[in-house]
Chains A and B, each alone.
Chain A
Amino acid sequence: MHSIVSDGTDTPSELLKHVRDAGITLFSLTDHDAVNGCAMIREILSENDPKLLNGTEFSCRDEHGKYHILGYNYDPDSKSIKDMVEAGHRYRMKKVRTRLDYIRDEYGFTFSEQDTQDLLAMSSPGKPHIANLMVRYGYAPSKETAICDYLNKAPVHSEYVRPEDAIQSILAGNGIPVLAHPAYGSGDELIVGSEMDQRLRRLIEYGLQGVEAFYSTFPPKLRKETLSFAEKYDLYVTAGSDYHGKNKFIPLGKTNLDKAAEIPGGMKRFLEAVDYS
């Protein structure tokens, strides 16, 4: 799940309330290239609350494509994680500025000084935030149009975090690196069969330990395919809703884990690894 710290709409405290209401017993906040939401929740967590797992999601890229790599249960004071968050943030800000420049130069879309400042002050701003502003200013009829017809056209040649660096930093911070929504690549691709196989082999070589086989918008076929790779390579299995508050229509806690006939071995081992029983 994501909070307002990245591209969600719930504040960390609202999120905690929703998690409590949903009856969830173990959860992780995985804001993009950010870790401070977890610290904020941990401060207000009381004894009978659900267990929180430190989480984050790094956007990565190399010659072969784009990846979202989740880091779970890392040591929040680890320098390697902090450095990686900082690098991710730096690259992200550069991309946001490129996009803002692009829509200004290309279409003449400008925002007030205050709105621009607010946007740049966010810890993890991205396309959805710019799109929201565009809709508010009447530059685009919907968020989808704003992203597809305008923002995605911006030539973004910025630097990226490489997957091996993200994985190594998570491992160095005693965390567990997990590939998010493997069949969707970085979100809206479709990667299956030998392509997924090759991706996983590369990432496993870098130290990847798990795959998010249970994902809110995986149809059964993609879930099964991801699970079979988890079994083939003996990987941890995790479940994620990718809840973004009002920014995506996904109910909190919807991971389709309830559709599994039994909890896969890879998930049992993951739960043991994070001391959850």
Chain B
Amino acid sequence: MVQSREENGRLIISLSGEIDSSNAQEVETRIYEIRQQYPDDSIELDCDRLEYASSAGLRVLLRLIQQTDEVILTNVHSEMYEILDVTGFTEMTEVRRAYRVISVEGCELIGMGANGMVYRIDPDTIVKVYRNPDALPEIHRERELARLAFIAGVPTAIPYDVVRIAGGGYGTVFEKLTARSFAKLLAYDDKPLDEVVQMSIDLLKLIHSKVIRSDTLPDMKAVALDWADFLKDYLPAELHEKLHALIAAVPADEHLMHGDYHVKNIMYQNNEILLIDMDTLCHGHPVFELASIYNAYVGFGLIDPDCTMKFLGLSAETCYTFWRRSLELYLGTQDAAVIDSVEEKAMIIGLARIMRHQIRRDGMNREDGRKMIETCRSILAQLLPRTDSLVF
């Protein structure tokens, strides 16, 4: 009925079966005996095998919650959760539902990414399974970001629940979209480039109009300042100082950004455009978004013209046109001088990021890496001195 174990220094008491007036006293006594052995007054109550608690059982839980510094109920199954919800327990302390367990055996594998695999589990849903068995916090973070964005009206697939995968690991279930990426629309000439750019910028503006207040949303300015700091040892002092000062001078901005906005992450479905991959969501001034867009279409291809073909399935020329047209539409002008100046601002942040990325991936010890780092450094050396502000 009552068992205990310790995990990472935390006391876990697991309850099983039914707790009612016939055994409530015994359960309570047993729990207090266990607690006496642990000075740290924080308990996880594992309810995975708890089937039912009558009012006498609930009183035991209530007293425990009221007399202990912190009690968290975990692995609570639906029926028990309902009881705890209507009786107010969920208001008093953290009550975590049990993860639904699903099997992906025999399911169609429809995608593979850096973090894991995507399976179709039924006609309406897919599951994104993470390779790393310890990814649970990251899964919850990404799912929460997607949920916040969805509720704020950003068009994206419904992020359903986090599930446990039979055989190991965790994943998030999403609504299945019958959509094609913008990259595919362009590659197969299904739509004219101008129309695709227009749709992508309309959606981008929609994202940038949203404000989501959440601790889970990173501030892009702080992230960019970290990039600048990292480059301290790799840039001449005056360039590094200028870079740092320019980023530091960008005003704080609460507006939402996607963070990895390119044609492979924008989907088209029945005249509707949708976003996928919400794990990069953040907030900040739009110049940071433009910097990441610049990198996807132009920056990463600077020394390797095949890069965009490998990554997006599009030629370097198409990507460059896409980028310039995006700037025109985003800024609402065809004035080349204005567009050039914003492009330079985006390049400064974008190339600082690529330079750091290359160095961290041991680029100094590779021929192509050294070439890329040198290219970034020389462009930054040209741009930084003549730039007064990253804001537009």
B66 at the interface (CB under 8 A from A): yes
Chain A 149-170 near chain B by CB (<8 Å), digits 1 or 0: 0000000000000000000000
Q: B54-69 CB contact bits vs A (8 Å, 1 = yes)?
A: 0000000000011111
A108 an interface residue at 8 Å Cβ cutoff? no
Contact B69–A256 (Cβ < 8 Å)? yes
Is A219 in contact with B88, judged by CB distance below 8 angstroms? Answer: no
A14 to chain B, nearest CB (A): 23
B91 at the interface (CB under 8 A from A): yes
User: Given A219-B65, A221-B94, A259-B69, 15 other A-B contacts at CB below 8 A?
Assistant: A190-B88, A190-B91, A192-B91, A217-B67, A218-B66, A219-B66, A219-B71, A219-B92, A220-B69, A220-B93, A221-B91, A221-B93, A222-B91, A249-B67, A256-B69
Determine the chain B residues whose CB is within 8 A of the CB of A217 once the complex forms: 66-67
Identify 5 residue pairs between A and B in the complex whose beta-carbon atoms are under 8 Å apart, listed by A's number: A217-B67, A219-B70, A220-B69, A220-B93, A259-B69
Q: Given the complex, which residues of A lie within 8 Å of B93, measured CB to CB? A: 219-221
Chain A residues contacting B68 (CB-CB under 8 Å) are 219
Interface positions, chain B 73-118, Cβ under 8 Å from A, are 88, 91-94
A193 at the interface (CB under 8 A from B): yes
Q: Which residues of B contact A220 (CB under 8 A)?
A: 69-70, 93
Residues of B within 8 A of A192 (CB): 88, 91
- B73 to chain A minimum Cβ distance, whole angstroms, is 11
Q: Which residues of B contact A (CB under 8 A)?
A: 65-71, 88, 91-94
Size of A's binding interface in residues, CB under 8 A: 12
Alpha-carbon separation in the docked complex, A139 to B68 (Å): 32
Our pick among A193, A249, A256, A259 for the contact of B91 (Cβ within 8 Å) is: A193
Closest B residue to A192 by beta carbon equals B91
In the assembled complex, the Cα of A221 lies from the Cα of B67 at a distance in Å of: 13
Mask, A118-143, CB within 8 Å of B = 1, is 00000000000000000000000000
Tell me, rounded to whole Å, the shortest Cβ–Cβ distance linking B208 to chain A: 30
What is the CA–CA distance of A222 and B91 in the complex, to the nearest angstrom? 8
**Contact assessment for A221 and B92 in the assembled complex, using a CB-CB cutoff below 8 Å:** yes
1/0 per position for A191-231, CB-CB distance to B under 8 A? 01100000000000000000000000111111000000000
Listed residue (B66, B70, B88, B94) with the most chain A CB atoms within 10 angstroms of its CB: B66
Shortest beta-carbon distance, B44 to chain A, in Å?
14
Using CB atoms, name the residue of chain A closest to B65: A219
Please list the residues of chain A having a beta carbon within 8 angstroms of any beta carbon in chain B. 190, 192-193, 217-222, 249, 256, 259
Grouping DSSP codes into helix (H, G, I), strand (E, B) and loop, the B interface class, with mixed when no group exceeds half, is: mixed
Among all A-B residue pairs, the 6 with the closest Cβ atoms = A217-B66, A190-B88, A219-B93, A192-B91, A219-B65, A219-B92
B70 cross-chain contacts in A, Cβ below 8 A: 219-220
Query: With A and B bound together, what is the CA distance between A193 and B71 in angstroms?
Result: 20
Q: How far does the Cβ of A188 sit from chain B's closest Cβ, in whole Å? A: 10
How far apart sit A193 and B90, CA to CA, in the bound complex (Å)? 12
B54 to nearest A CB, angstroms? 15
Chain A: minimal CB distance from B306 (Å): 54
A162 vs B237: C-alpha distance in the bound complex, in angstroms?
Answer: 72
Return the chain A residue nearest B91 by Cβ.
A192
Q: Tell me which residues across on chain A come within 8 A of B65, comparing CB atoms.
A: 219
- The CB with the most chain B CB atoms within 10 A, among A190, A217, A219, A221, is that of A219
Q: Output the least CB separation between B55 and chain A (Å).
A: 10
What is the bound-complex CA distance between A190 and B58, given in angstroms?
14
Distance in angstroms from B13 CB to nearest chain A CB is: 16
Chain B residues contacting A219 (CB-CB under 8 Å) are: 65-66, 68, 70-71, 92-93
Residues of B contacting A249 in the complex (Cβ-Cβ under 8 angstroms): 67
A217 vs B66: C-alpha distance when bound (angstroms): 4
Question: What CA separation (Å) do A222 and B93 show in the bound complex?
Answer: 8
- Of the residues B67, B69, B71, B92, contact of A222 by C-beta under 8 Å: B92
- Distance between Cα atoms of A256 and B69 in the complex (Å): 8
- Name the distance in Å between B43's Cβ and chain A's nearest Cβ: 11
Q: Establish whether residues B69 and A190, one from each chain, have CB atoms under 8 Å apart when the complex forms.
A: no
CA distance A76 to B102 in the complex (A): 67
Distance of A217 Cα from B67 Cα, bound (Å): 6
Residues on B with beta carbons closer than 8 Å to the beta carbon of A221: 91-94
Q: B88 to chain A: which residues have CB within 8 Å?
A: 190, 192
**Shortest distance from the beta carbon of B68 to any chain A beta carbon, whole Å:** 8
Q: Which of B65, B68, B92 has the most CB of A within 10 A?
A: B92
Q: How far is the CA of A75 from the CA of B268 in the complex (A)?
A: 73
- Which B-chain residue is minimally distant from A259 (CB atoms)? B69
Instruction: Name B88's closest neighbour in chain A (CB-CB).
Output: A190
Chain A contacts for B92, CB-based, 8 A: 190, 219, 221-222
CA distance A166 to B317 in the complex (A): 79
CB-CB nearest in chain B for A258: B69
A193 CA / B94 CA spacing, docked (Å): 15
CB-based nearest B residue for A217:
B66
Q: Which residue of B lies closest to A251 (CB)?
A: B67
User: Which residues does chain B contribute within 8 Å of A259, judged by CB atoms?
Assistant: 69
Report the Cα distance A220→B71, complex, angstroms.
9
Determine how close the nearest CB of chain B comes to the CB of A257; give it in whole angstroms.
12
Q: Shortest CB–CB separation between residue A225 and chain B, in angstroms?
A: 8
Residues of B within 8 A of A222 (CB): 91-92
For A218, the chain B residues whose CB sits under 8 A away are 66
